[in-house]
């Protein structure tokens, strides 16, 4: 009888796991699942280890090139670009192709020749572009990353971490053009008679909620993969390094994340009363957008809001007068800027506001 009860209990646990109880089992040596808007890490497995990353390097190459502008400009393929080993879009020496076309070839077909051509065009040289890559990594806070090339072929000092690559992807996916390129299933360049099909099978075949990403592989590094997905208003980023079963890893990560977490509004936009830090009075302030955060069901009621220092001095009506900080388990998780006006003013309205302020006609103090 005892054996039967124990067996039934185990079966019930398997069939109806509690939220957040069982983390996904992934084949990857390193993995992370991040919610895109907040940057909250929902799952991680050795996510901060420095590892070779192969062609997911090209996410950095792509976003730097996109931000450089002039995507319609023609780029001439050099001998060095054409003879770069590995995956290719088969550029010919002297061939001209727009920067935008090269970006699609870079992201969809993982063209190493495209990567070098882009780097020489944007950076003045491959070395110049690598400098830009490392400067961008520093600026983004990618503390466990260092780049030695624009394509991801194995090099001793070329590495990143699952967390850093998620951070980079979070930044890149805020760019409309990057989202369009990363999420394209096919693309036809004017310089080709055939379309390029995206190598990201999670996007093209396996997972309907996938919105983009980048594949990678070298024999030494193994399979690397970055993908993004969106469902019910929540956007997730998954990164796996050295993952023999990466497609299934990412599906499991996404399904686990969408099941266990929901985007919750922890503070609605609008007028609120805030306590001044130094004089203990109340004043009105505005949060201009709903404050949202990914939470499990049992976390929703544990959010604590603290209103912090509303500064007296304001250079502009568009500058925040303070902030509201939100805590979970006594740890700060996010903050919202507080303004003295519900909407951003234009320049003339801002000037009028400042004149009235100086003349004492418009004061909340």
> Which residues participate in catalysis according to the annotation?
55, 58, 110
CB of 50 closer than 8 Å to CB of 329: no
Count Cα neighbours of 42 within 13 Å in the Cβ-side half-sphere: 35
User: What b/e sequence results for 81-103 when a residue is b if at least 16 CB atoms lie within 10 Å of its CB, and e otherwise?
Assistant: bbebebbbbebeeebebbbbbbb
Query: Cα separation of 11 and 281, whole Å?
Result: 57
- φ, ψ of residue 289 in degrees (nearest 5): -135, 150
CA 279 to chain centre: 40
CB of 109 closer than 8 Å to CB of 199: yes
CB of 363 closer than 8 Å to CB of 329: no
């Amino acid at each position: 009888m005892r054996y039967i009860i124990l067996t039934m209990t185990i079966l019930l646990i398997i069939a109806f796991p509690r939220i957040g109880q069982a983390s996904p089992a992934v084949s990857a040596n390193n993995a992370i699942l991040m919610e895109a808007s907040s940057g909250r890490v929902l799952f991680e497995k050795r996510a901060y280890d420095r590892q070779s990353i192969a062609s997911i390097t090209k996410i950095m190459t792509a976003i730097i090139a996109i931000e450089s502008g002039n995507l319609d400009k023609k780029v001439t393929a050099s001998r060095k670009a054409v003879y770069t080993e590995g995956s290719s879009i088969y550029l010919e020496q002297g061939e001209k192709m727009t920067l935008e076309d090269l970006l699609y070839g870079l992201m969809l077909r993982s063209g190493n020749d495209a990567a070098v051509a882009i780097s020489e065009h944007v950076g003045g040289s491959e070395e110049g572009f690598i400098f830009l890559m490392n400067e961008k990594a520093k600026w983004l806070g990618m503390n466990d990353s260092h780049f030695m090339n624009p394509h991801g072929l194995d090099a001793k000092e070329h590495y990143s971490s699952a967390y850093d690559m998620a951070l980079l992807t979070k930044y890149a996916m805020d760019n409309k053009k990057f989202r369009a390129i990363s999420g394209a299933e096919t693309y036809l360049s004017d310089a080709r008679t055939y379309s390029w099909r995206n190598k990201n099978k999670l996007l093209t075949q396996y997972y309907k909620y996938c919105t983009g990403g980048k594949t990678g592989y070298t024999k030494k590094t193994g399979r690397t993969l970055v993908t993004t997905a969106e469902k019910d208003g929540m956007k997730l980023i998954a990164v796996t390094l050295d993952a023999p079963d990466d497609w299934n890893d990412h599906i499991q990560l996404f399904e686990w994340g969408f099941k266990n977490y929901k985007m919750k509004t922890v503070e609605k936009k609008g007028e609120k009363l805030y306590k001044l830090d130094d004089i203990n009075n109340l004043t009105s302030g505005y949060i201009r957008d709903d404050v949202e955060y990914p939470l499990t069901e049992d976390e929703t009621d544990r959010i604590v809001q603290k209103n912090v220092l509303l500064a007296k001095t304001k250079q502009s009506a568009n500058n925040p007068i303070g902030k509201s900080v939100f805590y979970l388990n006594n740890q700060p998780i996010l903050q919202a800027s507080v303004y003295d006006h519900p909407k951003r003013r234009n320049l003339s309205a801002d000037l009028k506001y400042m004149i009235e302020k100086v003349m004492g006609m418009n004061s909340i103090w």
